[in-house]
Amino acid sequence: EQLQNILQQMPKAELHIHIEGSLEPELIFELAQRNGVALAYKSVESLRNAYAFDNLQSFLDIYYAGASVLLTEQDFYDMTAAYLRRAALDNVRHAEIFFDPQTHTARGVPMHTVVDGIWRACQDGPISASLIMCFLRHLSEDEALATLEEALPLRGKIIGVGLDSSELGHPPEKFARVFERCRQLGLHLVAHAGEEGPPAYIETALDLLNVERIDHGVRCLEDPVLTKRLAREQIALTVCPLSNVKLRVFDHMGQHNLLDLLDAGLAVTINSDDPAYFGGYMNANFLAAFEALPLGLSHAHRLARNSFTASFLEPEAKRDFL
């Protein structure tokens, strides 16, 4: 159908993709074999069958286990190259890629191995891409500060920082000092907030961390005052429809609040989050949302346009895409 073709063919930017979440079961098994790492699953099928989640934490447990096969710079390169090739097929023209260094440095993988592998694949890739380093919010702020120190020699390869992992019980304000330090370093700032956590976490991410975008943010509608503010300030929300259904933020796609967010005048974007785990890349997210919800051509154009407007591309590069 015509709308489907437009969704697939329109240029887009992806602003919420965890590169470790793009690791397909086939590549997990290939890297496990290459590196002599033992896996708790005996086949690609049995691993994929384990991808049934009740909430964010049940996903994170298996996502961190999958990442344990990543050891060498080449592993990080191969994972990132595979994502960029796949994103290009969906007409993603620019990606701002999250990575979780603490998942790897905790296993003894050096910071430069992680960053150089991902960064080199971005340099060689078929599309424009840049890197956002995420702090794990279930760990302490001191560990985040130590991670930032380790990354300083690689500052030129990173455009910003984010905050991910278990949201409930780990409010943004826990990371106020490290985000202030990052702001002083001229890094862009984003944070996951309002995925499983309450609207108050969105507010403290804005006011205490000074973030420029909110990752997910779908629970903002529970607070009308906050919703009006997000609309007035045009704070972008990087919404991930398939993720929200897989992690039971919404029971099914027909219940997703994407259209309500758009109707509230919010700067919504569509993204894939962890495509290898949640059943699809960028276009699968667009198609699933547009199939389940009364969305049309004007919404499609708005979502694609928002993705470039909300990106951290330089103004001239942004203009080329708009």
Residues noted as catalytic: 195
Q: How far is the CB of 319 from ligand HPA (least distance, A)?
A: 31
CB nearer to Zn ion: give 94 or 213. 213
Residue 174's nearest CA partner among 216, 219, 205, 210 is: 205
Tally of helices (H runs) and strands (E runs) in the chain? 17, 8
Burial of 161 per CB tally in 10 Å (0-12, 13-18, 19+):
buried
- Does position 171 interact with ligand HPA (CB under 6 A)? The reply is no
Residue 308's nearest CA partner among 158, 96, 132, 3 is: 96
Given a contact cutoff of 8 angstroms between Cβ atoms, the answer to whether 170 and 143 are in contact is no
How far apart (Å, rounded) are the C-alpha atoms in residues 128 and 240?
21
Q: Which of residues 221-240 bind ligand HPA (CB under 6 A)?
A: none
- Does position 103 interact with ligand HPA (CB under 6 A)? The reply is no
CA distances from 297 to 12, 65, 161, 221 (A): 15, 40, 33, 24
CB nearer to Zn ion: give 65 or 317. 65
- Does position 243 interact with ligand HPA (CB under 6 A)? The reply is yes
Q: Which does 21 bind (CB under 5 to 8 A by kind): Zn ion, ligand HPA, none?
A: ligand HPA
Q: Which of 68, 80, 102, 165 binds ligand HPA (CB under 6 A)?
A: 165
273 annotated ligand-binding residue: yes
192 annotated ligand-binding residue: yes
How far apart (Å, rounded) are the C-alpha atoms in residues 152 and 158?
9
Q: Which of residues 231-290 bind Zn ion (CB under 5 A)?
A: 273
How far apart (Å, rounded) are the C-alpha atoms in residues 123 and 143?
29
Q: How far is the CB of 215 from Zn ion (least distance, A)?
A: 5
For the annotated binding site for Zn(2+), the residues are 16, 18, 192, 273
The residue ranges that bind Zn ion (CB under 5 A) are 273
The residue ranges that bind ligand HPA (CB under 6 A) are 18, 21, 56, 164-165, 192, 195, 243, 273-274
